Amino acid sequence: QTDQGTLRRYNAALSESMKAEVVAYFGAAGEAYATAAAAIAPPRVGNNPLVNGNLLISATGLAAGPRLGRLKGWLHRRQIETDLVTAEEVLELLDSIDWREDESENWPTLCWP
């Protein structure tokens, strides 16, 4: 069984043609996965990030650059996985990651799997 966050990422990150390729490659298992993903409601606020770079700079004091971009990507991933609906909810996620010290290369972005 696959969790809803992973299914949400599948829906958000893959185009319809890529989803068809997954089904073709994995056969019956791919079809079952696609069916499970199709049963997940779309994000309530769509697939676009709720937090842009300027807002993230204001919230963190980070300069524009790769670290900020990776943090923005991680926040977007978590927004999709948990179906957040406000920028405030997304920014609260900053309390759950050591964005000041962690290696930003380890932060996952919106992708599937």
Q: Is 60:99 a contact under the CB 8 Å cutoff?
A: yes
Distance CA 37, CA 4 (A): 8
- Residue indicated by tokens 């980070």: 62
- At residue 2, does pLDDT exceed 90? no
pLDDT digits (tens, 9 = 90+) for 36-94: 999 999 999 999 999 999 999 999 999 999 999 999 999 999 999 999 999 999 999 99
